[in-house]
Structure 1
Amino acid sequence: MSHNQRMQDRINPDERNPARAGASPDPALLEAAFASMGAGVLVVDTGGAVAACNPQAEWLLGHPPGGLLGRGLHQDVCFRGPGGQAEPTSQCPLLRVARTGRLAAGDEDLLVRADGGVLPVAWTSAPLRQMGRITGAVVVLRDVTHRHQARARRAERHARGQEARRQAEDAHAAVLWLVEVTDALVSTLDAQEALGRLAKLLVPRLADWAALDVATGPGQARRMACAWSDGLPAIERAGVGPLPRFAPSSPTPLARALGGAGTRLLTDVGEAGPGRDAMDEAQREQFAALGAVFVLLLPLRLRGDALGAMTLVRTDPARPFTDDEVVLAEEVARRTALSLENARLYGQQAGIATVLQRSLLTDLPNVEDLELAASYRPAQREAEIGGDWYDAFVLPGGDLAVVVGDVVGHDLQAASRMGALRNMLRALAVDRARTPGEIMQRLDAAMVHLDVAESATAIYSRLRPAGQHRWRFTWSNAGHPPPLLLTADGETAWLEGSGTLLLGVAPGQPRPTDMTMLPPGATVLLYTDGLVESRTRSIDVGMSRLRRSAAAEVGRPLEEMCTALINALGDPGDDMTVIAVRTPVGR
């Protein structure tokens, strides 16, 4: 081909290509291509009526063949507004291109199918131009249901995750709150104090008003604690004290809860039930004054025993008790019942301890010429009677034996061992006339064989007249704080002696006897470590305080002196014992 010919082809290529020269494409070919497209295609005129569509568009939108032709794309197919309402045709994004001439597209929108369902689609809309002017639009639709479903699944998973997180946070908060509840209940063995603390925790966490009642007998109960939120009306909110009597078989809600019936939720608190009694009437009057809307009544029950009831009131109609809150309240009621039972058992043990302690305290003998007094104060923890003891008795030869001791421990077992040890020492002292050191050595050996106590401290002493208003004082100290000697003019001295190990540590070891002569009007003070030792100061400081206090009290009667020292000194958390003997003043 010549160079001129090639140039001619470049200048006018349509002369060599009939299709490019204006020949029309085969209509059958266009129709086949239109029908076989994987996307839905609709051709609409400027008014929005469907002029043509392919089978895929009809299938996607749920219309039979030819069912879309002539229909308004916006009125019959196009998506609706956020509330489901039809938007004006002028606002339809699929048809907007017929006016603007600019391409439009959507990533995921919903179209209405023939059956009323919706179809998620991605779409494009392009202007249709003929002879240089816009005559409509070509809309291409692609089904993105899978994407829509995936997004919905992700949203659902996210919502479930958020809900699980919320539930976990709520559960964690409930556990932390239950820890507070438990701490409030176990930090004291006083039932009223524990219930008062609990009531303050119940409001506003579970209620706007809460009351805790304890059964005191058949048909009898006492309101132990009450709490309320600040917004409640000014009524007699506290109401602590005896409740009106009721029949044990009363069907009224509070009576049933006090009797151990199951949890009950009241939503019509103003309506009187059958068998209304004075307590039920008073309760409903109080509910009315509170503006109660929901009332939750729970028994305080443990192992079948009905101990009381817990009442929770809410005044907001928009805040009913949820199932989780009822379960939480029931757990609080269970722990409260356990606390009440512990307080009851503690009271029983304290009573036993008091009786036992009184039985172990010795009645002091009347001894001619000598003044004898003793004082004992248990620890403030009433049930912990401890192992402190004192004793005084006249020996067969007429000498006076004075004893003070302390068995290791602060419980009933320590107290019982103390009693056994005291009686054994009495028996050994009365059996034979031996020195205090020999008696203590025999007691040490007997403890091992008879398993009386693991260890103990003690002082065993004897007083004997020595003429001219003087008295001979002998003693043996087994690891105990030393006796304090006070003269009539207030001089003081520790009778250190040659103290040895505690009883029970080295059985069989010889134990020495120490001796001193007591002048007229002298006082010997024996005591236990609770008088001089505490958690806040050393024993040296405590003994210095005892020495000064005793010197200041030396002019008082001996019984008053012992009581004053007990009240002024020592650790309230420990038991204390003082026994003192005073020789007569010489004439």
Structure 2
Amino acid sequence: AADGPGGAVVVFHDTGAERERIDRSADRYAYSEMAREQAEYELAEATWLGDLTLALVSTLEADEALARVARLLVPRLADAAVIDLVVDRGRVRRTAWTHQDTDQVPAEVLEADPPAYAEASAAPLAQVLTGGPTQYLSAPFHTGDPAPPAEGDALGRATTAMLTELAAEHVLIVPVRLRTSTFGALTLSRGAAGPPFSAADRVLAEEVARRTALGLDNARLHAQQADIAATLQRALLTDLPDVSTLELAAHYRPAERTAEVGGDWYDAFPLPDGDLALVVGDVTGHDIQAAARMSELRNMLRALAVDRPDEDPGTILRRLDNAQAHLGLADSATVVLARLHALPDGAWQLSWSTAGHPPPLLITADGRTRYLTDAHSMLIGLRPNTVRPTATTELPPGSTVLLYTDGLIESRTQDIDTGMTRLRQHTAVHHAQPLDRLCVTLARTLGDIRDDITLIAARIPPAP
């Protein structure tokens, strides 16, 4: 509108549509930001759960796996995390714990095992362990028992004391459960500076507990397989023959922490001509199948040696390799076959052949040691019909011949050369021990507890 010549011109503009467009743009931007933040949160959560799952599946040791879980939960989800496992009816073992401020929390507050509890206990931890759902607690805590504190439930009082020492304000006790089996409970706590546990926190904690239960179930099944393999292997190891002219001893020690058992064996049996055969071997694999294959290979070796007692150890091992290739007894194996022969003048002679196995160790009566490194060839199962040599040596009076598996000299932290040096040193120090005690001493002192160890030894009579 113009107000006369030279007057001001005023332009009116309707800004309603523009404001609406700007508002829509702002809403879209805000929604986009919210969606991005939600996606980042979900990605971070999925990554964290992936790390937790990896921590569980990368070890078959339950205690180590639970310790890793506890460390991942703090401070991601709680100020303190405690994992208790049911070990028997009414009994609990505290397996893992951690706190974000370890300097202010005495170790005894977290490491003590909880007291035993009854099925009818009103303590929140007991309710979870007996099949109940997740429990949410907030300060001030109580045992859930109407009786006076001095007469109340011991588990409830112990839980209250622990949470009080932790200065906890908000607590979740989540069952570590798979189907109908409750393995234990996961206790998470936050102090006054932290917010209460939200519904999302509870869902996340229950997912952590579910994955923990899966890991525990996997470790339990693996341990059962290890027990079966060890039991089977012990049953398959033969009793030593009664040989009045020699001192014989053998020892088998299964792996203590994992299922790496099943392939080692020792054997000793008389031959028709009066000689004594000594064997130590190791079949590829560490499971029940390896134990079964070991039994087949051991029995086949026995039959071949007894069938033709005039053959030397190398020839017998060659026939064993051919039989293995034809019958598929094992993928591969290492073996030492030795033969002790008494000469007419009272001396003793040893002949042996080694197929990919550590060499026998000879210990004299005065403690000197040397490895019998002759007659070495490739392991069984690689190339049938391979010519296998045999070596022979005379044994001094009072000397000892030791055959063993690689678990005695090799481990994840020690190379085989170092292990063989240590074996010589220890046998030199303890050579005067009775033979059965010497085998036990070597197995306990040397080797790797994560691998099984097998030894067999023969001691020649001393000089008249």
Task: Give the TM-score normalised by structure 2.
Answer: 0.83
- Equivalent positions of 1:442-457 (< 5 A) are 442-457=319-334
Are residue 167 (structure 1) and residue 38 (structure 2) matched? yes
Q: Which amino acid aligns with 1:316?
A: A
Q: Which runs of no fewer than 5 residues in structure 2 stay unpaired?
A: none
Equivalent in 289, 298, 303 of residue 422 of structure 1 = 298
Q: Residues 503 and 271 from structure 1, CA distance in 2 versus in 1: closer, same or farther, beyond 3 angstroms?
A: closer
**Are the aligned partners of 1:213 and 1:225 in contact in 2 as well (CA < 8 Å)?**
yes
CA distance in 1, matches of 2:288, 2:447: 22
Matched, 1:191 2:62: yes
Matched ranges for 1:147-226 at <5 A = 147-226=18-97
Counterpart check, 1:314 vs 2:190 = yes
Pairwise CA distance, 1:505:
2.7
Displacement of 1:389: 1.6
Give secondary structure in 1 for the equivalent of 2:358: coil
Cα gap change, 1:268 to 1:365, in 2 (>3 Å): same
Matched, 1:523 2:400: yes
Conservation of the 8 A alpha-carbon contact between 1:225 and 1:240: no
Distance in 2 separating the partners of 1:231 and 1:578: 46
CA deviation after TM superposition for structure 1 residue 317, in Å: 8.1
Judge conservation of contact 2:226–2:287 (CA < 8 Å) in 1.
Answer: no
SS of structure 2 residue aligned to 1:457: strand
Matched, 1:146 2:17: yes
Equivalent residue number for residue 11 of structure 1? none
Check whether the contact 1:387–1:409 (CA below 8 A) recurs between aligned residues: yes
**Letter matched to residue 274 of structure 2:** G
Residue type matched to 2:216 in 1? L
Q: CA-atom RMSD, angstroms?
A: 3.6
How far is the alpha carbon of 1:256 from its aligned partner?
A: 3.6
Identify the match of residue 506 of structure 1 among 380, 383, 403.
383
- How far apart are 1:333 and its partner, in Å? 0.9
Q: Could you say which residue in structure 2 is the equivalent of 1:73?
A: none
| Number of residues of Structure 1 aligned to a counterpart in Structure 2 | 454
Q: Give the corresponding residue for 1:439.
A: 316
**Residue in 2 that maps onto 1:86:** none
Q: What one-letter code is carried by the residue in structure 2 that aligns with 1:337? A: A
The corresponding residue for 2:174 is 298
The residue correspondences of 1:15-54 to structure 2 (distance < 5 A) are none
Structure 2 counterpart of 1:364: 240
The residue aligned with 1:238 is 110
Secondary structure, aligned partner of 1:241: coil
Q: What SS class does the counterpart of residue 377 from structure 2 fall into?
A: coil
Structure 2 vs 1, CA of residues 549 and 210 (structure 1 numbering), >3 Å: closer, same or farther? closer
- Residue 222 of structure 1 contacts residue 243 of structure 1 at CA under 8 Å; is this kept in 2? no
Secondary structure of the residue aligned to 2:384 is coil
Q: What are the residue-to-residue correspondences of 1:126-137 with 2, within 5 Å?
A: none
Residue 583 of structure 1 corresponds to which residue in structure 2?
460
Q: Which amino acid is the alignment partner of residue 420 of structure 1?
A: E
Structure 1, residues 144-181: CA drift from partner, whole Å, max 9, x if none? 12222222223222322332232233223323432443
Query: How far 1:182 moved relative to its partner?
Result: 2.9
Asked if the contact 1:462–1:474 (Cα under 8 Å) also holds between the matched residues in 2, the reply is yes
1:210 CA displacement: 3.1
Instruction: Report 1 or 2 for greater relative contact order, CA contacts < 8 Å, sequence distance ≥ 6.
Output: 2
Alignment-mate amino acid for residue 238 of structure 1 = L
Distance in 2 separating the partners of 1:399 and 1:386: 29
Match runs of 1:531-570 below 5 Å: 531-535=408-412, 539-570=416-447
Distance 1:475 1:303, change over 3 A: same
Question: 1:308-347 alignment to 2 at 5 Å?
Answer: 308-316=184-192, 319-347=195-223
Distance (whole Å) between structure 2 residues aligned to residue 516 and residue 555 of structure 1? 22
Deviation sequence 1:127-150 (CA, Å, 0-9, x none): 99xxxxxxxxx9976431222222
Per-residue CA deviation, residues 444-482 of structure 1 (Å, 9 max, x unaligned), is 333234332122121222212112231122223323233
Q: Measured at CA, do residues 570 and 252 of structure 1 come closer, stay the same or move farther in structure 2, by a change above 3 Å?
A: closer
Residues 353 and 412 of structure 1 are in contact (CA less than 8 Å); yes or no, is this contact kept in structure 2? yes
Cα displacement string for residues 548-580 of structure 1 (whole angstroms, at most 9, x for unaligned residues): 554454444433443444445445544333322
Q: The residue matched to 1:238 in structure 2 has which SS?
A: helix
Q: CA deviation at 1:332?
A: 0.8
SS of equivalent residue, structure 2 residue 259: coil
CA-to-partner distance for each residue in 1:3-62, whole Å, 9 max, x for gaps? xxxxxxxxxxxxxxxxxxxxxxxxxxx9xx89xxxxxxxxxxxxxxxxxxxxxxxxxxxx
User: Which stretch of the first structure deviates more once superposed, 380-389 or 216-225?
Assistant: 216-225
Aligned to 1:483: 360
Is it true that 1:349 corresponds to 2:225 in the alignment? yes
Query: For residue 22 of structure 1, what is the aligned residue in structure 2?
Result: none
Partner Cα distance (2:452, 2:165) in 1: 50
Alignment of 1:264-283 (within 5 A): 264-266=135-137, 270=141, 278=153, 279-280=155-156, 283=159
| Cα deviation, residue 311, structure 1 | 2.5
State the Cα distance separating 1:193 from its structure 2 match: 3.9
2-structure distance, mates of 1:290, 1:489:
62
Given candidates 455, 458, 461, the residue that maps to 2:338 is 461
CA contact 2:333–2:381 (8 Å) conserved in 1: yes
Q: 1:480 to 1:193 in 2, by over 3 A?
A: closer
* Helix, strand or coil at the partner of 1:417: helix
Please list the CA deviations of residues 71-98 of structure 1 after superposition, one character each: whole Å capped at 9, or x if unmatched. xxxxxxxxxxxxxxxxxxxxxxxxxxxx
**Is the 2:225–2:287 contact (alpha carbons within 8 Å) kept by the matching residues of 1?**
no
* Contact 2:439–2:456 under 8 Å retained in 1: yes
Shift of 1:285: 6.2
